[in-house]
């Protein structure tokens, strides 16, 4: 009897407490879904569109009749912006330049706040400015003939591998007869190019296996989490209970491949460094670190250098190759696009040499194909989450300090008001009077503002070189010879990617 009475009292009280907390939110916070136990509104987001979080947020924006929606994703106060103009406003809003401190960030940085991507404040300003300044000298932020030459050499090796077959054991994982393995077949030019930028060295073809290990690790990391809510981010203790299912082990394995590589490289550089001159970015960083060690607030360290290199390598070893793999899928879906690319390459470049960056201005269709791929199949649909560094206001709402701020780039990239036919792959939308017109490109695949991706110039230039060189040499078709009639479902992670696949390449006569 007493138990029944207690239950009769407790159940309504607990329900009342839950109901009150479910709708509790900061004053003048954007409207949005209520919070459920443990994961807050994340349950509702998943129920709305389980395999497409950006679409779920778009639908919730319509439901709550607000272009900015607010909610709790686990412990994180979160706003999601679902309007093209507001997205741009947010990216240039200095109060939103922070990053979210989560287990994913800590795991990849020795359980500290290190690197470039996931740090903020004074530390981020110093490290980003230093790395950009000195990596620019190696071609990272501007055109560099030496870097172009390095990329061209790697493209020749890439083509030779598919044209004449593997030379080394690891290459058999990338080439089988007339089939090549996507996306990692494209990885080497991007990674070796970045190695040249930071260390003035590249690995020879006999050591490509080390670069493919980096590419596999980077892509494993990108596929093993997302930036706004996976269970591991909201309940980090799951790493002790279900390390495989939660993605913890895959994140750790993928990240460790990058850190191990750069830890070894940095040690080799330090062992051979000379005081008389700096040979490359790593030398400059290490010398500055030693000089700065006497100061009380130094941000320089060996661990930070490894994380800086890993941060720049992560997209170079995964995102760029993923974009080109998606573009190859588009050529399989729309063979007329492939024909137009081939026609432009033959007309502008011919077959006697590889396409180079001088040709880029005269090959608007080839360049537009890359841009259209990044628009239609947005690689990072929700970007990398920002954080409000202070209490601030945004479009009439009060945004508390430490609120996670997310931009829904799919709303921008699929806006009918901007693009007219956003669901159609149409590279011509970026071309006017026979020339590429950058003013027509309203997409933001690399973000904007002070958090603009530092590798945008490097990525755009290398993707053009690699794609144009590959298409000059080959015609692509499906591995089984059957026409591809619809896109393959994407793997949702920090970036959205295709499952790995084989594609048939036929040398062009």
Under 8 Å between Cβ of 245 and 232: no
3-state SS, one letter per residue, for 175-222? EECCEEEECHHHHHHHHHHHHHHHHCCCCCHHHHHHHHHHHHHHHHHH
Domain segments of the chain as ranges:
25-507
Confidence of residue 13 (pLDDT cuts 50, 70, 90): very low
Q: How many CB atoms are located within 10 Å of the residue 264 CB?
A: 12
CATH number listed for the domain at residues 25-507: 1.10.630.10
User: Counting every residue, how long is the chain?
Assistant: 509
Q: 3-state class of 507 per DSSP?
A: strand
Q: Percentage of the chain surpassing pLDDT 90?
A: 75
Instruction: Tell me the pLDDT tens digit for each residue of 372-405.
Output: 999 999 999 999 999 999 999 999 999 999 999 9
Residue 10 has pLDDT above 50, yes or no: no
- The DSSP secondary structure of 101-123, one letter per residue, reads --HHHHHTTTTSS-SSTT--HHH
Q: What distance lies between CA 336 and its chain's CA centroid?
A: 29
Question: Can you give the pLDDT at residue 241?
Answer: 86
3-class state of residue 437 by DSSP = coil
* Residue 426 and residue 365 in contact, taking contact as beta carbons nearer than 8 Å: no
Residue 6 confidence (pLDDT) above 80: no
Each residue's pLDDT tens digit, 241-296 = 888 888 888 888 888 999 999 999 999 999 998 877 889 999 999 999 998 877 76
Q: Which two tokens stand for residue 126?
A: 């110093």
Crossing angle of the two packed helices 302-333 and 121-136, in degrees rounded to 10? 70
Q: pLDDT tens for residues 90-128?
A: 999 999 999 998 888 888 888 889 999 889 999 999 999
Cα separations (Å) of 79 from 25, 68, 76, 96, 490? 12, 7, 10, 11, 25
pLDDT digits (tens, 9 = 90+) for 447-479: 999 999 988 999 999 999 999 999 999 999 999
- Do residues 192 and 150 lie in contact, with contact meaning Cβ atoms separated by under 8 Å? yes
Cα distance between residue 32 and residue 47, in whole Å: 14
Nearest to 22 by CA among 45, 46, 38: 38
């Amino acid at each position: 009897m007493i138990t029944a009475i207690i239950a009769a009292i407790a159940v309504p009280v607990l329900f009342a407490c839950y109901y009150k907390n479910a709708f509790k939110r900061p004053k003048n916070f954007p409207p949005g879904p209520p919070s459920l136990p443990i994961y807050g509104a994340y349950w509702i987001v998943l129920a709305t569109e389980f395999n497409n979080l950006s679409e779920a947020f778009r639908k919730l924006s319509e439901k709550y009749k607000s272009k900015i929606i607010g909610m709790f994703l686990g412990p994180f106060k979160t706003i999601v912006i679902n309007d093209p103009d507001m997205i741009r406003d947010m990216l240039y809003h200095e109060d939103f330049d922070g990053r979210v401190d989560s287990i994913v960030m800590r795991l990849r940085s020795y359980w500290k706040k290190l690197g470039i991507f996931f740090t903020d404040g004074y530390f981020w300003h110093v490290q980003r400015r230093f790395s950009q300044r000195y990596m620019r000298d190696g071609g990272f932020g501007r055109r560099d003939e030496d870097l172009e030459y390095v990329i061209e050499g790697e493209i020749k090796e890439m083509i030779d591998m598919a044209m004449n077959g593997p030379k080394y054991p690891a290459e058999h994982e990338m080439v089988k007869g007339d089939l090549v393995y996507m996306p990692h077949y494209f990885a080497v030019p991007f990674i070796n190019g970045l190695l040249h930028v930071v260390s003035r060295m590249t690995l020879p073809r006999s050591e490509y296996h080390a670069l493919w290990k980096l590419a596999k690790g980077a892509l494993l990391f990108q596929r093993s989490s997302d930036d706004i809510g996976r269970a591991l981010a909201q309940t980090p203790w799951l790493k002790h209970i279900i390390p495989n299912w939660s993605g913890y082990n895959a994140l750790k394995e993928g990240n460790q491949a990058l850190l191990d590589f750069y830890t070894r490289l940095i040690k080799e550089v330090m062992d051979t460094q000379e005081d008389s001159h700096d040979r490359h970015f790593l030398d400059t960083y290490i010398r500055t670190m030693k000089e700065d060690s006497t100061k009380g607030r130094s941000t320089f360290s060996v661990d930070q250098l490894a994380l800086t290199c890993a941060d720049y390598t992560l997209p170079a070893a995964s995102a760029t190759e993923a974009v080109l793999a998606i573009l190859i899928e588009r050529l399989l879906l729309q063979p007329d696009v492939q024909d137009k690319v081939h026609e432009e390459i033959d007309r502008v470049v011919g077959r006697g040499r590889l396409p180079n960056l001088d040709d880029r201005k005269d090959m608007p269709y080839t360049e537009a194909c890359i841009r259209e791929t990044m628009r239609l199949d947005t690689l990072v649909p929700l970007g990398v989450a920002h954080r409000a560094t202070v209490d601030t206001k945004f479009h009439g709402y009060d945004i508390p300090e430490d609120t996670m701020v997310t931009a829904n780039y799919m709303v921008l990239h699929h806006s009918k008001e901007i693009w007219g036919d956003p669901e159609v792959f149409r590279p011509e939308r970026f071309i006017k009077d026979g020339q590429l017109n950058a003013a027509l490109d309203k997409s933001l695949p690399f973000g904007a503002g002070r958090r603009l991706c530092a590798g945008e110039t490097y990525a755009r230039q290398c993707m053009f070189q690699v794609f144009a060189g590959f298409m000059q040499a080959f015609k692509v078709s499906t591995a089984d010879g059957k026409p591809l009639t619809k896109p393959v479902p994407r793997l949702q992670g920090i970036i959205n990617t295709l499952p790995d696949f084989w594609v048939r390449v036929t040398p062009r006569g």
